[in-house]
Structure 1
Amino acid sequence: MRMKNMNFCLNFQIINKKTIYTLKKIAVVILNWNGVQLLEQFLPSVVKYSSEADIYVADNASTDNSISFVEANFPIVKIVKNTGNYGFAKGYNDALQHIDTELYALVNSDIEVTENWLQPIIATFEKEPETAIIQPKILDFKNKEYFEYAGAAGGFIDKYGFPYCRGRIFDTIEKDNGQYNDACEISWASGACFFIRSKVYHELQGFDADFFAHQEEIDLCWRAKNKNHQIKYNPNSVVYHVGGATLQQGNPKKTFLNFRNSLLMLVKNLPKENFYSTLFIRLSLDGLAGIHFILQGKFAHCWAILKAHFAFYALFSKTYKKRAHFQSKRYYNTKNIVINYYINNGKVFVK
């Protein structure tokens, strides 16, 4: 059982999964698996610029020296030890059961934060009780004038579940010229740097562990919207993301997870009207994507889509049972981002 409504802070480390602590208003939680090099590079900025928060490393049973490195060099950082490598979804679900705080900041281990990155987020949560989830501006660590693929200036999906962002549509990434410096409501926030009220996270039962990794944050945001929670983008908080540090963009495993999980997300969240027709069209579009990969000579990626579909069919019945009682009909911003991008040359976000 989680402790509630306690207003004091305890400043010692979590040493096992049976101990629960009450902390500051916000907890920065970094999920790690064999990522000591990333912790060496990026944890210092988090520690330097996060005085408002308690900082955690949630470790997915690493076999490298991640834990000993953190303990030796950053005693202020608390550690939650998961018992296995549970991926992004279950890894966070398990770890967050043991962190009692008002706000979670879920931060990838390859994120460099900037000075005052937390204040605008905390202020928004305080002023807007209806806002449940917030994403900062995410720029490319390797090319800091450009947005980063995973999230950019806030995420959206089309009618068939294809995700895209302000500042990034498929592989077209925009330079940050201040064109997205407006705070606005979005469809989903990137898991690379994901702020959420803890009560909402637990109300939604966290990420879907069946996803393992990729698109679980989009599913969580969609479920939040189905319960009338708002999701915002705040440009006054800026972070830099390496992207692909744990699984490269061109990896067939990533293709498998993205295609499978996108289909699972549709089954859980599509409104019942036109449910099967929308799903059928999406499956057909996946087939076209497979042909596109073949024409590019990327046979492993085509095979990854096929495997994703077989895995999806195997999980269909289980996933269908997870559907909520209410499904929002206004879940998409663009009807078909694929046609808009490849046929209508829609390379830049248009609301």
Structure 2
Amino acid sequence: MNHETIGIEQFQTSPLQVSFCIVNLNARDYLRACLDRLPEAATQITWEVIIVDNGSTDGSVEMIRTEFPWVRLICNETNLGYTRPMNQALHVAQGEFLVQLNPDTLPGEGAFDKLYSFMRANPEVGICGPKVLNRDGTLQRQCRRSAARPWDVVTYFSGLWRLFPHSRLFGRYLLAYLPEDETAEVEAVSGSCMMVRRAVIDQIGYLDEQFFAYQEDSDFCFRARQAGWKVFYYPEAVVVHYGGFGGSRTQPYRGIIEWHRSYLRYYRKHLAKDYCFLVNGLMYLGVGLRLSLSLVKAFFSREKVVGTKKP
């Protein structure tokens, strides 16, 4: 494994306020657009950028070296997934707040100024996520969600939440009943863009590396709430997430397998103890069946996207 530091962020005040941590795998053009937009999204705060590259072959590393020499770069020789490389970035980050950011995101004007101000004004908030939009401008509903308990998962995958979008009974997983422009305490936010208070990591530790990729954000939010921190959705800050261009398309079948494996690990770690063996058995069976269907669907699909397709 080769670790190479190219440079540091141009702001040199101390203490540093925000560290942007990005894991990249063959997302060069999206990453370039993301980095170009950062100065507009963080105008009132001091910041640094740390990128961990997972052995990209599309010229990402060369692009960073040439166009963004102030980025702090860590190069891995192979694809180490998401969680371990993100921890590599978090370990060297110097900021008071740490932002986990996907390379295929496009931050809105002042987005991180707003997130930072909100968290400074609310010290009980340990994790905060912005309003995340799909490329067509619609809400990416996964940016605010529940802890994915069995009933929430059943109503989501069965489509009941679409039939009753304003129901708190059927719409819990994606909080479909919650107005998209309403600031709210939630159980989990998306790791595509998530601001974390350093004190949270000091208390509960880093991301759990048993998750190769996927569900590490749900696990981290769950652990933070267990430790007494609040998790918030703050729609005044807006970020566009293209979805599926941060590395999952490079190895789509592995991505599908890891998504389902990660949910099972998350379920066993946090939720299984709250339910009887019958419920747990049905959950494991359901995830296995969905994995099989997803692999078959991907085989016959022209566009292979891990998780929910982003419009």
Give your verdict on TM over 0.5.
Answer: yes
The amino acid that maps onto 2:107 is V
Q: CA deviation at 1:243?
A: 0.4
Q: Counterpart in 2 of 1:279? A: 280
Report SS of the residue matched to 2:189: coil
Q: Give the alignment's TM-score, normalised by structure 1.
A: 0.68
1:60 maps to which of 54, 62, 67: 54
CA distance 1:135–1:105, shift in 2 (3 Å): same
Q: Counterpart in 2 of 1:100? A: 94
**In 1: Cα distance, 2:95 partner to 2:89 partner:** 13
Q: Are 2:62 and 1:71 aligned?
A: no
**In 1: Cα distance, 2:160 partner to 2:53 partner:** 31
**In 2: Cα distance, 1:37 partner to 1:171 partner:** 35
For residues 29-178 of structure 1, the aligned pairs below 5 Å read 29-51=21-43, 52=45, 53-82=47-76, 84-141=78-135, 143-144=136-137, 146-148=138-140, 150-151=142-143, 154-160=144-150
**In 2: Cα distance, 1:23 partner to 1:69 partner:** 29
The amino acid that maps onto 1:96 is L
Q: CA deviation at 1:48?
A: 3.4
For residues 159-238 of structure 1, the aligned pairs below 5 Å read 159-160=149-150, 179-238=179-238
Q: Counterpart in 2 of 1:258? A: 259
**In 2: Cα distance, 1:207 partner to 1:164 partner:** 27
1:206-260 CA distances to partner (integer Å, 9 max, x unpaired)? 2221211111111111111121211000000001010011325994433312221
- Give the paired residue count: 274
**Structure number, greater radius of gyration:** 1
Give the percent of matched residue pairs that are identical in Structure 1 and Structure 2.
Answer: 23
Report if the CA contact (8 A) 1:155-1:164 is conserved.
no
Report if the CA contact (8 A) 1:155-1:163 is conserved.
no
Q: Counterpart in 1 of 2:170? A: none
Tell me how large the CA RMSD over aligned residues is: 3.5
Q: CA deviation at 1:273?
A: 4.0
Report if the CA contact (8 A) 1:182-1:235 is conserved.
yes
Report if the CA contact (8 A) 1:82-1:95 is conserved.
no
Report if the CA contact (8 A) 2:96-2:198 is conserved.
yes
Report SS of the residue matched to 1:195: strand
**In 1: Cα distance, 2:193 partner to 2:154 partner:** 16
The amino acid that maps onto 2:180 is Y
Q: CA deviation at 1:149?
A: 5.3
Report if the CA contact (8 A) 2:139-2:180 is conserved.
no
**In 2: Cα distance, 1:218 partner to 1:204 partner:** 14
Report if the CA contact (8 A) 1:157-1:163 is conserved.
no
Q: Counterpart in 1 of 2:297? A: 298
**In 2: Cα distance, 1:115 partner to 1:30 partner:** 19
Report if the CA contact (8 A) 1:22-1:99 is conserved.
no
Deviation >6 Å, runs of 4+ = 169-174
Q: CA deviation at 1:90?
A: 0.3
Report if the CA contact (8 A) 1:57-1:78 is conserved.
yes
Q: CA deviation at 1:85?
A: 2.7
Q: Which segment drifts farther, 51-60 or 281-290?
A: 281-290
**In 2: Cα distance, 1:90 partner to 1:271 partner:** 25
Q: CA deviation at 1:136?
A: 0.2
- Stretches of structure 2 that go unaligned for 5 or more consecutive residues are 1-5, 166-173, 301-311
CA distance 1:253–1:150, shift in 2 (3 Å): farther
1:270-322 CA distances to partner (integer Å, 9 max, x unpaired)? 2734364442231132355368x39x963869xxxxxxxxxxxxxxxxxxxxx
Report SS of the residue matched to 2:243: coil
Q: CA deviation at 1:203?
A: 3.0
CA distance 1:230–1:123, shift in 2 (3 Å): same
Q: Which segment drifts farther, 42-51 or 204-213?
A: 42-51
Report if the CA contact (8 A) 2:87-2:206 is conserved.
yes
CA distance 1:116–1:159, shift in 2 (3 Å): same
Q: Counterpart in 1 of 2:242? A: 242
- Stretches of structure 1 that go unaligned for 5 or more consecutive residues are 1-11, 15-20, 302-351
Q: Give the alignment's TM-score, normalised by structure 2.
A: 0.76
Report SS of the residue matched to 1:243: coil
**In 2: Cα distance, 1:290 partner to 1:278 partner:** 18
Q: Which segment drifts farther, 110-119 or 42-51?
A: 42-51
Q: Counterpart in 1 of 2:3? A: none
Report SS of the residue matched to 1:228: coil
The amino acid that maps onto 2:193 is C
